[in-house]
Amino acid sequence: MSIKSIKKKDRAGELIQKNKRIFKCPVCCGKMFMNDFGSLTCNSKHSFDLSRKGYLNLLTAGNTPVYSKELFEARHLVCESGFYDPLIVELSKIINEYKKLRNNEEISILDAGCGEGSHINGILKKVTENQNKTYVGVDISKDSINIAARNNADIIWCVADLARLPFQNKSFDVALNILSPANYSEFNRILNDKGIIIKVVPGSNYLKELREIIYTDKDVSDYSNNKVINYFEQKLDVEEIQNINYKFHVSNEFLPHFIRMTPLTWEKSTERLNDIYEKNISSITVDLTLIIGTKKR
């Protein structure tokens, strides 16, 4: 074990111990704390080791990965290229404004379904006064959290199931759900009464250059997020809906990462994928809808 990895694990342990109040045992729902052996444990002795890379695995049962490690590696490269930067800027603005409304008191932020962690890491870099914020990223994929934990940001990384979040009731002020499945019963449970949920969903033109090539049937290539928005409205009070639209320049050398990062290309023939390269795509459309909600009043 390298000195660097020891320091990283120790720093993560200190961060978790500092925020132990937000955790609940995924087995018995008891309160948790960091013990002398570097594990998160409860009074009933259910214990979860902090990995050498500095993340917690709080799953109580094995899971079959939905997305491959290759997909998350490709998505990480795409995020690092700046593909989602305008989204990160807007999310950071919303969180900064929310903090002002809360008189700049300490707030906690959860990225539920954080993938390889680029979104919440980008937000941390842009949000002001981070000493008054706690950042937590959760995903059910161990591969994705492995990638997320590579950075040196003060973010608590957890492998956990969105259907059984290992956090206390009302323990978060902001819940992010970015291009990821949602579990609104759990989101409502872990969100405090003054908290906000920000869900990001694809718009009708999201990645349209890829979809128009992959899907020959127009009805299939067209996409509407109306059902997702309507379901959100059933579960939460909608405070605001925003749209973000822009074009991102992409080179032929970088295009393979876009192809690997999206499930759109799964089970597609080599011929269909080759069509993407032959079309000489020079830009890709980013079309996203941000839904800001609060608990039902």
The reply to whether 223 sits in an annotated binding site is no
The reply to whether 246 sits in an annotated binding site is no
So what's the pLDDT on residue 214?
A: 75
Average pLDDT over the chain, rounded to whole? Answer: 89
pLDDT tens-digit map of 119-144: 999 999 988 766 778 999 999 999 99
Same domain, 68 and 46: no
Q: How many CA atoms lie within 13 A of 135 on its CB side?
A: 26
Domain termination site, one of 33, 57, 81: 57
Same domain, 226 and 251: yes
The reply to whether 67 sits in an annotated binding site is no
The reply to whether 28 sits in an annotated binding site is yes
Same domain, 103 and 247: yes
Amino acid at the residue 9: K
Task: Say how far apart CA 182 and CA 229 lie, in whole Å.
Answer: 12
Contact 109, 155 (CB under 8 A): no
Same domain, 18 and 98: no
So what's the pLDDT on residue 2?
A: 45
So what's the pLDDT on residue 149?
A: 95
Same domain, 96 and 83: yes
Q: What is the largest CA-CA distance in the chain?
A: 60
Same domain, 248 and 101: yes
The reply to whether 42 sits in an annotated binding site is yes
Same domain, 115 and 225: yes
Same domain, 127 and 9: no
Same domain, 163 and 66: yes
Q: Provide the domain count of the chain.
A: 2
The reply to whether 257 sits in an annotated binding site is no
So what's the pLDDT on residue 219?
A: 47
* Domain at 274, CATH number: 3.40.50.150
Domain of 17 in residue numbering reads as: 1-57
The reply to whether 29 sits in an annotated binding site is no
Same domain, 50 and 87: no
The reply to whether 84 sits in an annotated binding site is yes
Domain termination site, one of 57, 84, 104: 57
Which region holds residue 103: left if phi is over 0, alpha if psi is between -120 and 50, else beta? left
Same domain, 128 and 52: no
Query: Which ranges of the chain have pLDDT less than 50?
Result: 1-5, 219, 269
Task: Say how far apart CA 52 and CA 55 lie, in whole Å.
Answer: 8
Same domain, 49 and 111: no
Task: Say how far apart CA 12 and CA 52 lie, in whole Å.
Answer: 10
